Amino acid sequence: MNSVMIGQYIPIDSWLHRLDPRSKCIFVFCMLILIFFANNVETYTLLLLVGLMGVALSRISVLLFLRSMKLIIWMILFTTLFHLIFTQSGSIVLQTPILTIYEEGVRQAAIISVRFILLMIFASLLMFTTSPIDLTDGLESLLSPLRRWRFPAHEFAMMMSIALRFIPTLWAETDKIIKAQKARGADFESGNVYRRVKAYIPVLIPLMISSFRRAEDLATAMEARGYAGGVGRTKLRVLSIRRADILLLVCFAIVATALFWMRK
Amino acid sequence: MKHIKSLIELSGVWFDYHPDRQMKEQWALQDINLTIQSGEYVVVMGPNGSGKSTFARLLNGLLIPTEGEVRVGDFSTSNGLGRFHIRRKVGMVFQNPDNQIVATTVRDDVAFGLENLGIPREEMIPRIERALEVVGLVGFENREPAHLSGGQKQRLAIAGVLAMNPEIIVFDESTSMLDPQGREEVRELMKELHQQGQTVIHITHSAQEAFLAERVIVIAHHRLQLDYPSRDLYNQSNLLEQWGLEVPLPIRVRALLKNQGVELNEPIGNSDEMVAQIWRYLSKT
């Protein structure tokens, strides 16, 4: 099956893996915001160092992080090019008959690229070191205060975990339908993009129909097992904030203070 | 005076999904009267579309009778609070092994029902362990359901039900989508559960499975047609054929031999037993 799924959980043991998913979520979320406050070489260097420290602490191969960068390489190239061509202030760096590159353009391009890379590092850190179940549990717990404003935190987490549960099932089914359609002479490999996309319609429709049937079966099975929403439910999995989690949040506070002190 | 209190009692049950649109003679289930005692092993058979799955869903309040009443113990499924208690008492295992597993690991899935009942965590852990032990899935706790075989998935579904300590387990065609090995695993487990005193109700269209039970109920044309101890059915296999059900070979052979004046006495379970009995008969004469 597809082992190169985006941001897939890497089940090994490390300091980051053992942290509570809630503290990791908060840390990463705050880091992502912090990235937008960095505005000079010092602050970006600081954030990059924090990111690299995280990579080291996760004990996950750097190659995997690089592979996740592949997803955003086109976005980086596009925005870089965009800034090089269209930003026209500061002194001229390079002048050719077709285009002129200004200093501000280079600066903006560099900033955007570093931001993208930082975003990807922190997001990958969270996804690589947190199992999907822990992630949904963590989100449910973090979002539960919003229940006061009628936000369906439990239902949201339940939906997410069911979706995760059915990804492999639906994937296997897609595979089966493709084979069945091929056996009936369907052609998925030739023709232009439009034709190839169109060839997948006879795969998607049976898949959708069977998904609805599955959803109905599952709802019946859940009801038969006494499911009646989040009220009065207990949980097998417990989350616990330990010393390491507090340490992580203290680290964030230090980084944030340092960043605001260093920025212009 | 009443004797032993029956566990499940259906009295004058009529049901249809769209009762206002259908003539009463066409309702999905018509005039079902039935009692099931604690500890029984009952098979409910019927051709496709006979209403047997609807029947199963009436037993734990997934469907509510349009007329009449289904009672489990002291509770009626027509009552909201009653249904809550009944869901705890009547566990259900469905047909499609994939579509009844909710959680992403074996352990979490067994916990699902317990979480719904609000069982404290300390109590959940031993109950999950015990349920997995009964179905033979110890060591699979952290497996993802996608990495289980069909028979294992169905055993996981049974574990999820068992952990809730039900009094009755209803199997709604739970063996029909499995390969022969998985089917055998699940049948074996049903037998074991029955021997441990569990009430087992098995909805199936396989006559072969029917003869594993003690009591056979046939639902056809939306009505209850037969309700026999399975022992007595051996002599009346034509009754099953009459309702469009396939009769297992040993039983058919036995009935045909009887017509020829050859009387084989003991009930026959499988073809090996049949061969043994024919030999015995031949050596006697």
Q: Do A234 and B124 touch (CB under 8 A)?
A: yes
Rounded Cα gap, residues B254 and B262, in angstroms:
8
| Residue carrying structure tokens 């069977």 | A210
At residue B22, the pLDDT reads 80
Tokens encoding B168: 């009755």
Partner A, chain B 42-101, Cβ-Cβ below 8 Å: 57, 60, 62, 84, 87-88, 91-92, 94, 96, 98-101
Find the helix or strand (DSSP H, E) in which B162 lies: helix B150-162
Q: Which of A191-195, B44-48, B168-172, B255-259 has the highest mean pLDDT?
A: B168-172
Q: Tell me if A29 sits within 8 A of A252, measured CB to CB.
A: no
Q: pLDDT (tens digit, 9 = 90+) per residue, A208-247? A: 999 999 999 999 999 999 898 888 888 888 888 889 999 9
Q: pLDDT (tens digit, 9 = 90+) per residue, A152-174? A: 888 988 998 898 888 888 988 99
Among A216, A225, A234, A238, the strongest candidate for a mutation testing the B interface, having the largest count of B CBs within 10 A, is: A225
Return all residues near B220 (Cβ < 8 A) that are at least 6 apart: B46, B47, B50, B243, B244
Among B60, B102, B107, B169, the strongest candidate for a mutation testing the A interface, having the largest count of A CBs within 10 A, is: B102
What is the value of pTM for the model shown? 0.80
Q: Do A165 and B101 touch (CB under 8 A)?
A: yes
Delineate the domains of chain B, giving CATH numbers in brackets: 6-247 (3.40.50.300), 248-285 (no CATH)
Spell out the SS3 assignment of B82-140.
HHHHHHHHEEEECCCCHHHCCCCCHHHHHHHHHHHHCCCHHHHHHHHHHHHHHHCCCCC
Q: Tell me if B250 sits within 8 A of B271, measured CB to CB.
A: yes
- Lowest pLDDT segment from A135-144, B156-165, B185-194, B240-249: B240-249
Question: Nearest CB to A164: which of B104, B114, B121?
Answer: B104
- For residue B108, the chain A residues in CB contact (below 8 A) are 133, 236-237
Q: Do A222 and B102 touch (CB under 8 A)?
A: yes
Between the alpha carbon of residue A122 and those of residues A16, A54, A187, B31, B196, the distances in Å are 12, 8, 41, 64, 54
User: How close A232 gets to chain B, by Cα (Å)?
Assistant: 6
Comparing A131 with A213, which gets the higher pLDDT? A213
ipTM of predicted complex: 0.85
- For residue B121, the chain A residues in CB contact (below 8 A) are 234-236, 238
Q: How many CB pairs under 8 A join A and B?
A: 95
- For residue A232, the chain B residues in CB contact (below 8 A) are 118
Q: With 90 as the cut, is the pLDDT of residue B235 above it?
A: no
Q: With 60 as the cut, is the pLDDT of residue A7 above it?
A: no
Q: Tell me if B83 sits within 8 A of B109, measured CB to CB.
A: no
Question: Nearest CB to A226: which of B87, B98, B128?
Answer: B87
Rounded Cα gap, residues B41 and B200, in angstroms:
5
Partner A, chain B 112-151, Cβ-Cβ below 8 Å: 112-121, 124-125, 128, 144-146
